[in-house]
Amino acid sequence: MTQPPSPLSSVVLRFAGDSGDGMQLTGERFTTESAVFGNDLATLPDFPAEIRAPAGTLGGVSAFQVQISDHDITSAGDTPDVLIAMNPAGLRANVAQLERGATIIVNVDAFDERALAKAGYLENPLADGSLSAFSVFEVPMTSLTTAASEEVGVKPRDAERSKNFFALGLVCWLYSRPIENITAWIDKRFAKNDLVRQANYRAFRAGYDFGETSEAFAVRYEIAPAPFAPGEYANITGNTALAWGLVAIAQRSNLPLFLGSYPITPASDILHELSKHKRFGVRTFQAEDEIAAAASAIGAAYAGSLAVTTTSGPGLDLKSEAIGLAVALELPMIIVDVQRGGPSTGLPTKVEQTDLLHALYGRHGESPVPVLAPATPGDCFDTAIEAARIAVKYRTPVIVLSDAYLANGTEPWPIPDPLSIDPIDPDFASGPNATDAEGNPAFWPYLRNPETLARPWAVPGVAGLEHRIGGLEKADKTGAVAYDGKNHEVMTHLRADKVAGVVADIPDVVVDDPSGAARLLVVTWGGTYGPVAAGVRRARARSVNVAHVHLRHLNPLPANLGEILSSYSTVISPELNLGQLASVLRSRYLVDVKTVSKVQGAPFRAAEIDAAIEEYR
Amino acid sequence: MSTPVQLTTRKDWVSDQEVRWCPGCGDYSILAAVQMLMPELNVNREDTVFVSGIGCAARFPYYMNTYGVHTIHGRAPAIATGLAVSRPDLHVVVISGDGDALSIGGNHLIHALRRNVNITILLFNNRIYGLTKGQYSPTSERGKVTKSTPAGSLEAPFDPVSVALGAEATFVARTHDMDRAHMQETIRRAWAHEGAALVEIYQNCNVFNDGAFTDITSRTSRDDMLIDLHHGEPIRFGAQKQFGVFRHLDGSVYTDTITLDNEASMVVHDESAPDPSGAFALSRLTRSDHEPTPVGVFRNVQRPEYGDLLNGQIVDSQERDGLGDLAALFRGNGSWTVSA
Ligand code: SF4
């Protein structure tokens, strides 16, 4: 094969196999190589809730989708151009998503009668003509892998486990990826077990060489680097970005970071990541339950820490009471909810945006809380920092609504200069702020900053500031327990006005409408940004004028939003729920926002958004 | 913090808040005992934090002129954990009741004890829900008739000392609201303990469960009904110290009149025994408030304190690998450069 590779502007690959087949690792490695090569990319891991569902069944299929391109992209792509299926279940679970003409590369060794039956195939799809719409490449991955690694003395049963590296090698050849980094990575990653290292290396080489020599593949492709602004980049998941954002703002502000958390999918990786960063003085506390996780964060906030609790939907339910206490105590605190499918246990590993109303309203009493949502994996970094700024400045709990798609998805992230992150001044109370009836200096814990309405953050250890606070209603200014109705009304308004006043720190939203002539506005929030933006581009490519506005701030909403919404004849809100943002916007602005809903545990596809735009334009 | 400890008097520890318990409530005597004890504990007011949950007892922090947080039902140990590990320089006291600590907050209590977080927990046990006006609590005796159990409670009660010992708490004690000196001595020792200390305080709720402990704590019955535990001494009680505590072959304990024959086999109290079984047996000696009941320190052992361990890992990591560097963190998982 001497032909030069054919240029391609982008490709969507999907690796699918058993959850024990190493598909996530394979996908991540291919992604990293593509990132380093300079492509723009976005990923969509998709794995079952069970750690090891029965092998070979549809329920046990683990998949990893990645789109790589030579231009700026915003999603992992709608339908795979290439499906790499390691077994019949991997094929069957994904084939319905493929469009005519797609490429399927199968590990033909895995298509024996038992495996076919387990996947629910009555006939072998490789033989019955059902795949005739696709280009199918049958590659004996298992036997070629075994043959390659047996040479170094690996037992056949163990040798087979390297077959994902064979697939990786083949795909790297097919898309002309440089292989030096991968081989170096294999050396490093498996340095502790030389036999495994050699087996994986050999399998990888065998896959790569198979592409080169077998002549099965008539062409190989090349996707040129995308035009990125000069600088240093890292490929980052949303959960990592969120954790790093917290570490960064705490470090820059010289505040100790405290995380109280209880393991829950898909948020646990934030706990794992922060637990590694003891060098930054980060205290992580794996609590006995979700309630204690939130409660311990309140204790840490009272102690003067930047306090965080992380969870997913079921945990947010349990934390509601503690968040209400933080509202009453007016202490800074960050609650991260990595949303997943609900109600109840729901779809633990799949994406949904169904906690918006819960975050906004899910507490008893008038209990206002600022709510932010990151747009992309990299944006989780900035959102965490902004949440910390608001929490500390306004002495309030802040909820961050990430989701399973952002949590595990990746994108190239321009590494920021740490010094470009402005420190937060915690402005701890240092002395008395009032005079008591006898004319002595006193400390009133609820005497507010007239501008922000924030109360003092008075941490224990400072003489003269001893004070008592609690969940009972407090008298305005002095903070003494007060049951008086008029005072309660004053305090209720003060708390509401304080959170509403956060709008002063929220930038106006900017409408994306290159035509300037759109009459249809698409409004999004949180993790649907990328997939919806891809759909909007698709519509524009058909010469449809459509505007897009994206919200990071859900409470308070940006000051100019009402004006924007009412200046379009039609407003649609695509959401991975039944219309939660639409309902907020309707009640707030009396604008007839239409819902485009999807609750299938998967992100929107560009085609779905394009179709919705077509319907409403 | 590191400021020298100021000399104080009781008055310095009394806040300006009007105390709002029912007249005659046992909480008053506990409050007085604590306020009088504080000047003797060699601590500054500003370094002391009282944290409570919900219930009558939970109002306690408002009356102490220290830092204080009145939180939510049952969660005080969890909030105190976040506070104590973040600020090892502070003395954190949790004020709780039988419902708060053992019903809604049972989970937090046992885990704070298990972790051995540096907090002093004062558990006011009145065997009733007072603030909600008289329902049975997890320490109410079986058969108790209350508003929510008109035909009698069906539940076997918890013994707070047994629960704490079961969680392998490192310091477990019991005292009662009728004896200020005993309360103060017990709380003083709990305060000095490094790690989690639990003190159960029998407290009379004269409105909803009046006289629950009268048979054992009244001045007239105390001598015969309270078994005061002293480390290293044979466990004896009674006006003439005529009764003793003895051990069955199965490890359980019982009381009997001391005779020349059995005197030598009396149980010698060992609060520092590494195994909590002996202390646990003592906590099971009585199942009612009408029989001789042990008070004092059941268990007092040393085990690494949670906050020390947590903060120690941070210090170790910083000493070994240096302080965190954000620029290095951001590049840690691999990075690449796009040149102009
Ligand atoms: S209800 Fe009982 S415990 Fe509560 S304050 Fe009154 S007497 Fe004390």
Confidence band for A333, pLDDT divided at 50, 70 and 90: very high
Chain A residue numbers touching B49 (CB-CB < 8 A): 460
The amino acid that residue A82 corresponds to is V
Q: Which atom of ligand 1 is nearest to the CA of B134?
A: 1
Residue for token pair 């005597």: B29
The amino acid that residue B290 corresponds to is H
Contacts for A111 with CB less than 8 Å, ≥ 6 apart: A87, A88, A124, A126
- Delimit the CATH 3.40.920.10 region(s) of chain A: 6-223
Residue closest to B199 by CA, chosen among B137, B122, B143: B122
Half-sphere exposure of B88 (CA within 13 A, CB side): 12
pLDDT mean by block of 10 residues, chain B; 340 residues: 81 94 97 98 97 97 98 98 98 98 98 98 97 95 96 96 98 98 98 98 97 94 96 97 97 97 97 97 92 97 98 98 96 87
Mean pLDDT score across all residues of chain A = 95
Q: What is the percent of chain A with per-residue pLDDT over 70, rounded to a whole number?
A: 100
Tell me if A247 and B326 make a contact (CB, 8 A cut-off). yes
Contact of B14 with chain A, judged by CB distance below 8 Å, is answered with no
String of DSSP letters for A212-257:
HHS---S--EE-PPP-PPSEEEEEEEHHHHHHHHHHHHHHHHT--E
The amino acid that residue A247 corresponds to is V
* Residue A217 confidence (pLDDT): 85
Q: How far apart are CA A440 and CA A296, in angstroms?
A: 35
Whole-number Å distance, alpha carbon B36 to ligand 1 midpoint, is: 22
A382 Rama sector, left if φ>0, alpha if ψ -120 to 50, beta otherwise: alpha
Supply the Cα-derived Rg of chain B in whole angstroms. Answer: 23
Chain A residue numbers touching B85 (CB-CB < 8 A): 283, 285, 300
Contact of B259 with chain A, judged by CB distance below 8 Å, is answered with no
Chain A residue numbers touching B53 (CB-CB < 8 A): none
Tell me if A461 and B47 make a contact (CB, 8 A cut-off). yes
Residue closest to B66 by CA, chosen among B17, B116, B131: B17
CATH, domain A6-223, list 3.40.30.10, 2.40.30.30, 3.40.50.150, 3.40.920.10? 3.40.920.10
Q: What is the percent of chain A with per-residue pLDDT over 90, rounded to a whole number?
A: 91
> How large is the average pLDDT for residues A549-559?
98
Nearest CA in chain A to B1: A461
> How large is the average pLDDT for residues A327-331?
98
Q: Which atom of ligand 1 is nearest to the CA of B26?
A: 8
Q: How far apart are CA A244 and CA A408, in angstroms?
A: 15
Q: How far apart are CA A278 and CA A292, in angstroms?
A: 21
Contact of B66 with chain A, judged by CB distance below 8 Å, is answered with yes
CA B1, B4, B9, B11 torsion-angle sign: negative
Q: How far apart are CA A218 and CA A174, in angstroms?
A: 10
* Residue B321 confidence (pLDDT): 95
* Chain pair A-B, CB pairs under 8 angstroms: 210
Query: Count of residues for chain A?
Result: 617
Instruction: Return the bridge partners of A410, or none.
Output: A237
CA distances from A190 to A27, A187, A367, B274 (A): 18, 6, 51, 44
* Residue B2 confidence (pLDDT): 52
* Residue A36 confidence (pLDDT): 87
Q: How far apart are CA B81 and CA A299, in angstroms?
A: 7
Nearest CA in chain A to B327: A418
Q: Out of B52, B82, B322, whose CB is closest to A260?
A: B82
* Residue A1 confidence (pLDDT): 45
Q: Out of B87, B313, B336, whose CB is closest to A233?
A: B336
Chain B residue numbers touching A471 (CB-CB < 8 A): 54, 70-72
Residue closest to A383 by CA, chosen among A532, A242, A243: A242
Q: Whose CA is nearest to atom 8 of ligand 1?
A: B25
Among B31, B63, B207, B210, name the best residue to mutate to test ligand 1's pocket (greatest count of ligand atoms within 8 A of Cβ): B207
Strand order in the sheet with A547-551: A547-551, A520-525, A570-575, A594-597
pLDDT digits (tens, 9 = 90+) for A160-219: 899 999 999 999 999 999 888 899 999 999 999 999 999 999 999 999 999 988 888 888
What CATH number is given for A520-616 in this structure? 3.40.50.920
- Which residues between 137 and 166 in chain B have a beta carbon less than 8 angstroms from any beta carbon of chain A? none
* Residue B37 confidence (pLDDT): 98
String of DSSP letters for B29-45:
HHHHHHHHHGGGS---G
User: A66 phi and psi, to 5 degrees?
Assistant: -140, 140
Chain A residue numbers touching B66 (CB-CB < 8 A): 466
* Residue A30 confidence (pLDDT): 94
Least confident of A49-63, A262-276, A457-471, B70-84: A49-63
Confidence band for A590, pLDDT divided at 50, 70 and 90: very high
Q: Out of A281, A292, A307, whose CB is closest to B78?
A: A292
Among B18, B19, B20, B21, name the best residue to mutate to test ligand 1's pocket (greatest count of ligand atoms within 8 A of Cβ): B21
- Encode B95-128: b = buried (16+ Cβ within 10 Å), e = exposed: bbbbbbbbbbbbbbbbbbbbbbbbbbbbbbbbbb
Strands B197-202 and B119-125: parallel
Nearest CA in chain A to B6: A463
Tell me if A481 and B17 make a contact (CB, 8 A cut-off). yes
Helix, strand, or coil (residue A187): helix
Among B131, B133, B177, name the best residue to mutate to test ligand 1's pocket (greatest count of ligand atoms within 8 A of Cβ): B131
Q: Do B63 and B56 meet the contact criterion of CB atoms below 8 Å apart?
A: no
Predicted complex ipTM = 0.97
* Residue B209 confidence (pLDDT): 97
Residue closest to A500 by CA, chosen among A555, A439, A434, A570: A555
Q: Out of A291, A297, A461, whose CB is closest to B90?
A: A461
pLDDT digits (tens, 9 = 90+) for A123-140: 999 999 999 999 999 999
- Delimit the CATH 3.40.50.970 region(s) of chain A: 234-420
- Delimit the CATH 3.40.50.920 region(s) of chain A: 520-616
Chain A residue numbers touching B323 (CB-CB < 8 A): 279-280
Q: How far apart are CA A145 and CA A165, in angstroms?
A: 9
Residue closest to A74 by CA, chosen among A409, A554, A373, A510: A409
Chain A residue numbers touching B87 (CB-CB < 8 A): 303-304, 459-461
* Residues at CB less than 6 angstroms from ligand 1: B 21-22, 25, 27, 56, 126, 130, 205-208
> How large is the average pLDDT for residues A374-391?
98
Q: Whose CA is nearest to atom 6 of ligand 1?
A: B22
* Residue A215 confidence (pLDDT): 81
> How large is the average pLDDT for residues A230-244?
96
Q: How far apart are CA B255 and CA A373, in angstroms?
A: 65
Structure tokens at B194: 């490094």
Whole-number Å distance, alpha carbon B24 to ligand 1 midpoint, is: 8
Nearest CA in chain A to B335: A234
Residue for token pair 């299938």: A600
CA B229, B232, B236, B238 torsion-angle sign: negative
What CATH number is given for A234-420 in this structure? 3.40.50.970
- Which residues between 284 and 323 in chain B have a beta carbon less than 8 angstroms from any beta carbon of chain A? 310-311, 313-314, 316-318, 321-323
Q: How far apart are CA A49 and CA A341, in angstroms?
A: 11
Nearest CA in chain A to B110: A288
pLDDT digits (tens, 9 = 90+) for A385-443: 999 999 999 999 999 999 999 999 999 999 999 999 999 999 999 999 999 989 999 99
Residue closest to B224 by CA, chosen among B232, B211, B213, B215: B215
- Which residues between 224 and 253 in chain B have a beta carbon less than 8 angstroms from any beta carbon of chain A? none
Q: What is the 3-state secondary structure (H, E, C) of A582-608?
A: HHHHHHHHCCCCEEEECCCCCCCCHHH
Residue closest to B101 by CA, chosen among B32, B179, B169, B185: B169
Q: Whose CA is nearest to atom 1 of ligand 1?
A: B130
- Return the H-helix or E-strand segment holding B326: helix B326-331
Q: Which atom of ligand 1 is nearest to the CA of B21?
A: 5
Tell me if A295 and B47 make a contact (CB, 8 A cut-off). no
Q: Do B6 and B46 meet the contact criterion of CB atoms below 8 Å apart?
A: no
CA angle, corner A329, sides to A325 and A335, nearest 5?
55
Structure tokens at A32: 């990293």
Structure tokens at A507: 């930038």
